[in-house]
Amino acid sequence: MKALTFSLLAEPEERLDLSALTHSGLAGLTDMQIKKLRIGTTRNPASVGDIFKVTGNNPQSIIFEGGSARFDKIGTGLSSGAIRVIGNVGLEAGRKMSGGSLLVDGSAGDHAGSGMVDGRLEIKGNAGDYLGAPLAGEITGMEGGLLIVRGRAGNYAGERLRRGIIAILKGCGDYAGYRMIAGSIVVAGRVGAMPGYLMKRGSLFLDRRPENLAPTFVDCGETDIAFSGVFDRFLIHEKIMDKPLLGPRPGKFGGDVAVSGKGEILFRRGR
């Protein structure tokens, strides 16, 4: 079976809700039924056939040839199979993913990986604000899975993260790990102001000493722990990093003591 491929005909004139274009959303539909699915968000919404040329027949492997910052909610609720987007995506990519993989060759908008429970979301370009963060009214952010941003992420990356790993490889904006509950955030590159602000538990792993920390983080000194070796090996094995992030004796800040103070910022010393 050939991958089900959606080739973009032209830049869409409206924002698109692509949440239906997953394995579970397309299972059992004929080509004609797929082309008639409404994905536009205006009063006269566009259908799949208006925006894409559809080829292939394997919904376990979905490819979007061409992307747009108007491609919202791509991979929503993805539970199995693979989606690849050759281009950019808009808001809420991988929203509530529970399995499978979503690969975005370009950049993503705000709230990528929001509500993610499991699976793998990889963004080769940059990500917007609120990476893996909850939507308004939600109590917790990402609750599992692996979210990789090869480029830079905006502000509030990993807000209220509860479980899972977010890895950002070219730095991020302010308030990374804001109000974190648990889980892990990896940042290679410069981190903005106030990382880990009001975090209760969880870990921020940085490739350099953080600047602009909240005064409610406490310097715990140098640590000699086996964990850094295991985690560095994991990052290299998963091809997230090509060299150790933390090294053998990372430094540690504990905090945020303004809340429970059981979180940590581990960082590579000497940078």
Task: Give me the residues that bind another protein (CB under 8 A), please.
Answer: 146, 163, 165, 182, 184, 201, 203, 223-227, 229-231, 233-234, 237-238, 262, 264
- When the beta carbons of 54 and 257 are compared against another protein, the nearer one is 257
| Cα distances (Å, whole numbers) of residue 237 to 113, 124, 144, 234 | 22, 18, 19, 5
Distance from C-alpha of 119 to C-alpha of 98, rounded to nearest angstrom: 6
- When the beta carbons of 36 and 233 are compared against another protein, the nearer one is 233
Tell the smallest beta-carbon distance from residue 20 to another protein (Å). 30
Q: Which two tokens stand for residue 43?
A: 């009063």
Give Cα 247 distance to the centre of its chain. 25
- When the beta carbons of 132 and 154 are compared against another protein, the nearer one is 132
Tell the smallest beta-carbon distance from residue 165 to another protein (Å). 6
Tell the smallest beta-carbon distance from residue 169 to another protein (Å). 16
Which three-class secondary structure state does DSSP give residue 229? helix
Pick from 96, 72, 57, 56: which is nearest to 15 by CA?
A: 72
**Helical (H) or strand (E) element with 14:** none
Tell the smallest beta-carbon distance from residue 195 to another protein (Å). 18
Tell the smallest beta-carbon distance from residue 226 to another protein (Å). 4
- When the beta carbons of 152 and 163 are compared against another protein, the nearer one is 163
| Residue located via tokens 């409610």 | 216
From start to end of 94-234, where are the E strands? 98-104, 118-123, 143-149, 163-168, 184-187, 203-206, 218-222
- When the beta carbons of 89 and 166 are compared against another protein, the nearer one is 166
Give Cα 50 distance to the centre of its chain. 29
Cβ proximity of 8 and 67 under 8 Å: yes
- When the beta carbons of 131 and 146 are compared against another protein, the nearer one is 146
Tell the smallest beta-carbon distance from residue 224 to another protein (Å). 5
